[in-house]
Chain A
Amino acid sequence: MLRILLINDTPKKVGRLKAALIEAGFEVIDESGLTIDLPERVEAVRPDVILIDTESPSRDVMEQVVLVSRDQPRPIVMFTDEHDPGVMRQAIQSGVSAYIVEGIHAQRLQPILDVAMARFESDQALRAQLQARDAQLAERKRIELAKGLLMKMKNCNEEEAYTLMRRQAMSRQQKLLQVAEQIIAMHDMLGE
């Protein structure tokens, strides 16, 4: 059974979604308002999906969504009355997987959640690839910086600098990146 963290950010005491969700057979843990610390609640409740029911997503809501997406990503579905395309775009950019305007029916919940989860998984895969690329680029930049410093210090060419770094790394049973960081640190300490 899917475990849903339901955030009720409407003025109504009993959110309109809870009954529909229970009727559709989900396990619902509900919270009132967004005065709560959403990342902290996600950590504690470990939901499969987060549903946010809000009349109009405020800046605070968006910020909480960004934090969750960054640190403990989950599929996030937002039900709202807000039609403004700008708000919708902002919500999606913050990490919302599905943005549903009005019309909550128990029988529509399952497909909405299915789509949100599929979308979430593909986003996560894409994000992992992008992160790997960023990490590779960052690593290459550090190695190239160290190579440039070494070329100056040893007055040697690019290939000689790479070879020196690799020999040093392997003789000390280290990766090239570790030696690059040592060269950069040593250079910083000795100053220009």
Chain B
Amino acid sequence: MSEHKNSRIDTQAWAAGSDIPEKRVLNLGFMALTDAASVIVAATQGFAEKYGLTINLQRQASWASLRDKLLSGELDAAHSLYGLIYGVQLGLGGAPATDMAVLMGLNQNGQSINLSHALQFAGVTTSDALNLRAHQKGARLTFAQTLPTGTHAMWLYYWLASQGIHPLEDVDSVVVPPPQMVAHLKARRIDGFCAGEPWCAQAVDENLGFTLATTQSIWPDHPEKVLGCTRAFVEQHPNTARALVMAVLEASRFIDENEENKRSTAKFLSGSDYVDAPLSAIQPRFLGQYQDGLGHAWLDPHPLRFHADGAVNMPYISDGMWFMTQFRRWGLLRDDPDYQGIARQVQQLDLYRQAAEALNIRVPAEQRSATLLDGKTWDGSDPVGYARSFTLHALADSDAVAL
């Protein structure tokens, strides 16, 4: 098969001294989430060594600490939220603005919005009922996401707004690290949350909540985690960065190759060094088998995926820009950024192309198009207009329509 033919070519190039990694031992951060699978598999199943790398995996307690360690250099690269990388690039949130890099996409889909058992008992099991509840006088609902600029905040806001609920005015938001969501739900500190797996499935399994919406129902095949690092790291270690992308690409292809590989990956992830959660909470949704806790079960047409012949891994310019349009929409950015210019600096397209082509992996177009659940189409062509096109928003500049 092509995999091994290619690896041999690469080995020869390496031996000839043309592509020697500048740094061979890498500290790679990840959060305890099933969508960290490709970096974990790359590090432990002989994919990294093939490219002259040794990856030391370092599990992090929160996205904020992962971000801080990326910036301090304690981590060389990390499994990161798309919005974490762009938040740091733009100087939003708790870290100084720093030039950042997206090396590749790690996965699409597979996150969800969940509500508490208490809301279920109160009959709030549909978006209409939630809309009524959110607009009632009395105690405001509190939703947790995982980082103010992160993907989960953006999915939560997008979904709530699409249902007529203003995420910044009608409800409260708090930040909770993903592995602590279930405990917060149990302690009734939050009424709902948006996070990755297995924490949503675990809330359902433990009868603490139910899944109201998957993020793939907001945007089928949406961008989610990326392999991120500082721009300085890529510039100083281009061969290491390319080798890392190749190792993770091969691991991604391996996981997605067939169901048996997915099952053994799920088993591995459940180990205490990685996601540290029961296999029963990890495996079903890892295979696309959902049940929402309200009696509905389905095989999802857009489950968590890691490769899809490279469609998942391409660092699309339009994906990077989308997060900036949402930062703009929700007032995190007070002015229109140079959407194209910034995305072209952050998304490491050239490096990704070299890595993918060396592995005979198809490289799709730089922009992609999708229609989201509110019927709006995003194709990257007019980010300034798109950011201003939403009925519910918090545009913070002087030209904005007053709310």
Residues on A facing B (Cβ under 8 Å): 128-129, 132-133, 135-136, 139-140, 143, 157-159, 162-163, 166-171, 173, 175-177
Which of A140, A159, A167 contacts B49 (CB under 8 A)? A140
A167 to B41, CA, bound (A): 11
Instruction: Specify the chain A residue showing the minimal Cβ separation from B270.
Output: A173
- Given A159-B4, A166-B264, also A136-B45 (CB < 8 A): no
Interface hub of B44, B54, B263 (most chain A Cβ within 10 A): B44
Cβ contacts under 8 Å, A163 to chain B: 254, 257, 261
The distance in angstroms between the C-alpha atoms of A167 and B258, with both chains bound, is 11
Q: Is B25 an interface residue (CB 8 A)?
A: yes
Which of A133, A167, A168 has the most chain B CB within a 10 Å cutoff? A167
Known: A140-B50, A143-B46, A170-B45. A133 touches B24 (CB 8 A): yes
Q: Are A173 and B271 in contact (CB under 8 A)?
A: yes
Q: How far is the CA of A173 from the CA of B270 in the complex (A)?
A: 8
Residue pair A176, B1 in contact (C-beta under 8 Å) = no
The interface residues of chain A lying within 8 Å CB-to-CB of B53 are: 136
Q: Knowing that A132-B25, A166-B41, A170-B41 are A-B contacts, what are 6 other residue pairs whose CB atoms are under 8 Å apart, sorted by A's residue number?
A: A140-B46, A140-B50, A158-B4, A168-B264, A170-B267, A173-B271
C-alpha gap A157/B5 in the complex (Å): 12
Q: A136-B24, A136-B54, A140-B50 are in contact. Are A159 and B45 (CB under 8 A)?
A: no
Known: A132-B25, A136-B54. A169 touches B45 (CB 8 A): yes
Task: Contacts A136-B52, A136-B54 given; indicate if A177 touches B46 (C-beta within 8 A).
Answer: yes
A159 partner residues in chain B, CB cutoff 8 A: 1, 3-4
Taking the closest CB of chain B, its distance from the CB of A158, in whole angstroms, is 5
B residues 306-325 in Cβ contact with A at 8 Å: none
Please, which residues of chain B bring their CB within 8 A of the CB of A166?
A: 41, 45-46, 254, 261, 264
**B20: nearest residue on chain A (CB-CB)?**
A133
Q: Is the CB of B261 within 8 A of A167?
A: yes
**Chain B: residues with CB nearer than 8 A to chain A?**
1, 3-4, 23-25, 41, 44-46, 49-50, 52-54, 254, 257, 260-261, 263-265, 267-268, 270-271
Residues of the A chain whose Cβ atoms lie less than 8 Å from the Cβ of B45: 166, 169-170, 175-176
- In the complex, 20 of the A-B residue pairs with CB atoms within 8 angstroms, ordered by the A residue number, are A128-B25, A129-B23, A132-B54, A136-B53, A139-B49, A143-B46, A157-B1, A158-B4, A159-B3, A162-B46, A166-B45, A166-B254, A169-B268, A170-B264, A171-B264, A173-B271, A175-B45, A176-B44, A176-B45, A176-B46
A157 to B4, CA, bound (A): 11
Q: How far is the CA of A157 from the CA of B3 in the complex (A)?
A: 12
B260 (CB) vs chain A CBs: closest residue: A167
Indicate which residue in B46, B54, B254, B267 contacts A171 across the interface (CB closer than 8 Å).
Answer: B267
Contact partner of A133 among B41, B46, B52, CB < 8 A? B52
A133 to B48, CA, bound (A): 12
User: Within 8 Å CB of B3, what residues of A?
Assistant: 159
B1 CB contacts on chain A under 8 angstroms? 157, 159
Residues of A within 8 A of B263 (CB): 171
In the complex, A170→B45 CA distance in Å? Answer: 8
Interface centre among A133, A139, A143, A170 (most CB of B within 10 A): A170
A132 to B45, CA, bound (A): 17
Residues in chain B near residue A171, CB distance under 8 A: 263-264, 267-268
B259 CB to nearest chain A CB (Å): 11
A residues in contact with B254, CB < 8 Å: 163, 166
Task: For A173, list chain B residues within 8 Å (CB).
Answer: 267-268, 270-271
* Complex CA distance for A174 and B328, rounded to whole angstroms: 45
Q: Bound complex: CA of A112 vs CA of B52, how far in Å?
A: 37
| CA A163 to CA B255, docked complex, whole Å | 10
Least CB separation from A129: chain B residue: B24
Across the A-B interface, the 3 shortest Cβ-Cβ residue pairs: A170-B268, A176-B46, A170-B264
Q: How far is the CA of A135 from the CA of B52 in the complex (A)?
A: 10
Closest to A166 in B: B45
